[in-house]
Structure formats: C-alpha cells, structure tokens
C-alpha cells in the first residue's frame, strides 16, 4: 500500500533519513521506533509532502514524491503530531468537521462527523472548545480530526507521549478499533516497546536515519543490535 524506496533526506551536512526502504501492507499496523533524533518524524514529514527528498514513495502504486501535503491528504494519508495540535477556539465537533470538509474529496457528511465523535468517545463533549480539553481528549480529538479526512492510512507520531498507564490502555484500544473496525492501515511511531509489540505486526527500528532491523516485533525487540541502540537507552 505504501512503498518507501531508497529514501534519503539531508539537512545541510546532517543526514536525517539515510537510504530507507520498507513497505507497509494494507490493513497492517506498522511500527517505527528508534532513539531520539533517529529520523522518525522526518520520515513522516517526507511521506506527507513537507520536504523534498531523494528516493521514491509510492502510495497504492502511484509515486507521490513532489505532491503537496493537501493532495497527499486527499489521497488518503492522514497523520497526527507528538504534541496535540488543535484550534483552541473551535469546538470539538467543528474541528472534526473541518477535517471532513477540507481533507477529503468526498462531499461533507455531518452524519460521518457524528459517527467519528461517537467512535472516539467525544460525542458528549462535541460543543466544548478544544482549548479546554484535557490532554487525553486533545489526543483523541487530533486522531478524530485525522479520521474526519476519511484516511486509508493513519500515521500516529508518539501517541502515548505524556500519558499515564490508564490513558495508554484507552489509546491502544482506540488504535485497535480504528484498524480492525474501520479497516484503516496504521503506522505508529512509539517509544514504548510494550505498546509496539502488542499493536504491530511489523516493526522497523532506525538509528541516525538508518535501518537497524525490520520484521516481527518479538524478533526485533530481542535483536542484540536493537537492545544496544534502543532498549539500552533506558526504555522498557
Ligand atoms: N527542519 C529541520 N532542519 C534541520 N534539522 C532537522 C530538521 N528536522 C529534523 N532535523 C534533524 O534531523 C534529525 C532527525 O530528527 P527527527 O525529529 O526526525 O528525529 P525523531 O526520531 O523523530 O526524534 P524524537 O524521537 O526526538 O522525536 C535530528 O538530528 C534533527 O535535529
């Protein structure tokens, strides 16, 4: 569904993404991990059209390199950010409606917006201003606004950051439902290995922009190269 081939991104002398290649299959939950500064968010920025790069990114067989971000969104690729990005003065419902109105080529559908509100358990808070929401609800809303665009792939950037163990369980449950009930392919960047081994069917580890290993999450997390570069970094 998404084919990354020999992708390299340099910022001046710094190579943030170094000749990366991998494929995400339709219906998969694909994990990406690596130490701080490994190039994970940069990779998302390349897939979503923020920067020029060397190499090829194909979505559903079509080259998307050089496409502007809004066109990539309309093809069906949505993302979230590490720090929840919301419009503080807008209501929850309007924030999802904006995603549906601008992020999709399909006609605006208020019933779909209601469906998403219920799906992420924000229906009762639909008239609240997003600036008043607690962190977990802001995270749910950012995911909901992305779902508003009717994505085929949802790319999550460290969705668990700053969450307690109960919130992590809620977010994991939501991610599973998005994948299984809505049939949306997921890519997830995450530091918590337990989250990745439970949610994903394939896991890519990168360090300084370069692939360390990629495969079954249980094999990957027991690989000595990964333990050295990542797990030895104090994460469990
Ligand atoms: N716009 C930019 N200009 C210059 N350097 C950048 C830019 N964006 C990222 N970098 C650098 O590229 C490298 C990779 O950064 P990136 O944010 O992709 O890492 P990351 O794996 O997402 O890290 P973290 O886990 O801390 O979010 C870092 O050295 C970073 O400083």
- Mean pLDDT of successive 10-residue segments in the chain (236 residues)? 96 95 97 92 96 96 94 94 86 89 79 93 93 91 94 96 91 96 97 92 94 91 79 51
CATH number of residue 163's parent domain: 3.40.50.300
The residue range of the domain holding 199 is 2-76+152-233
- Give the integer Cα–Cα distance in Å for 26 and 138: 28
Task: Answer yes or no: do 11 and 123 share one domain.
Answer: no
pLDDT of amino acid 232: 58
pLDDT of amino acid 236: 47
Task: Answer yes or no: do 99 and 164 share one domain.
Answer: no
Task: Answer yes or no: do 179 and 197 share one domain.
Answer: yes
pLDDT of amino acid 230: 63
pLDDT of amino acid 106: 77
Q: What is the ipTM of this complex?
A: 0.96
Last residue of a domain, one of 131, 150, 169: 150
Q: Which atom of ligand 1 is nearest to the CA of 45?
A: 18
> What is the Å distance from ligand 1's center to 108 Cα?
36
The alpha carbon of residue 207 and the mean position of all alpha carbons in its chain are separated, in whole angstroms, by: 19
* Minimal-distance CA residue to ligand 1 atom 7: 11
Q: Which residues on adjacent β-strands are paired with residue 56?
A: 5
Is residue 127 situated within a structural domain? yes
Task: Answer yes or no: do 163 and 212 share one domain.
Answer: yes
Task: Answer yes or no: do 11 and 126 share one domain.
Answer: no
Task: Answer yes or no: do 72 and 156 share one domain.
Answer: yes
- Give the integer Cα–Cα distance in Å for 68 and 49: 5
Task: Answer yes or no: do 123 and 33 share one domain.
Answer: no
pLDDT of amino acid 228: 80
* Minimal-distance CA residue to ligand 1 atom 28: 37
Q: Is 110 helix (H, G, I), strand (E, B) or coil?
A: helix
The tally of domains found in the chain comes to 2
Q: Ligand 1 pocket, 42 CB below 6 A?
A: yes
Q: Ligand 1 pocket, 157 CB below 6 A?
A: no
Task: Answer yes or no: do 121 and 162 share one domain.
Answer: no
Task: Answer yes or no: do 156 and 229 share one domain.
Answer: yes
Q: Ligand 1 pocket, 38 CB below 6 A?
A: yes
Order across the sheet with 2-11: list the strands: 14-24, 2-11, 54-59, 62-63
> What is the Å distance from ligand 1's center to 41 Cα?
7
Last residue of a domain, one of 97, 121, 150: 150
Task: Answer yes or no: do 31 and 67 share one domain.
Answer: yes
Is residue 194 situated within a structural domain? yes
């Amino acid at each position: 569904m998404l084919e990354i081939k020999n992708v390299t991104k340099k910022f001046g002398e710094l190579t943030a993404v170094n000749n990366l290649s991998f494929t995400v299959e339709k219906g998969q939950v694909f994990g990406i991990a690596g130490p701080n500064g490994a190039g994970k968010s940069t990779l998302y920025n390349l897939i979503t059209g923020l920067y020029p790069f060397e190499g090829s990114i194909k979505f559903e067989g079509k080259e998307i390199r050089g496409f502007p971000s809004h066109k990539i969104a309309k093809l069906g690729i949505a993302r979230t950010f590490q720090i929840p990005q919301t419009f503080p003065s807008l209501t929850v419902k309007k924030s999802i409606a904006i995603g549906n109105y601008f992020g999709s080529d399909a006609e605006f559908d208020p019933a779909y917006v209601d469906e998403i509100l219920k799906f992420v358990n924000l229906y009762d808070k639909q008239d609240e201003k997003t600036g008043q929401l607690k962190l977990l609800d802001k995270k749910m809303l950012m995911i909901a606004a992305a779902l508003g665009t009717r994505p085929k792939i949802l790319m999550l950037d460290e969705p668990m950051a700053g969450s307690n163990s109960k919130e992590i369980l809620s977010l994991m449950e939501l991610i599973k439902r998005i994948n299984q009930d809505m049939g949306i392919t997921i890519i997830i960047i995450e530091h918590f290995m337990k989250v990745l081994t439970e949610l994903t069917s394939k896991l890519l580890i990168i360090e300084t922009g370069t692939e360390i290993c990629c495969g079954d999450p249980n094999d990957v997390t027991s690989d000595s190269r990964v333990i050295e570069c990542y797990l030895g970094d104090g994460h469990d």
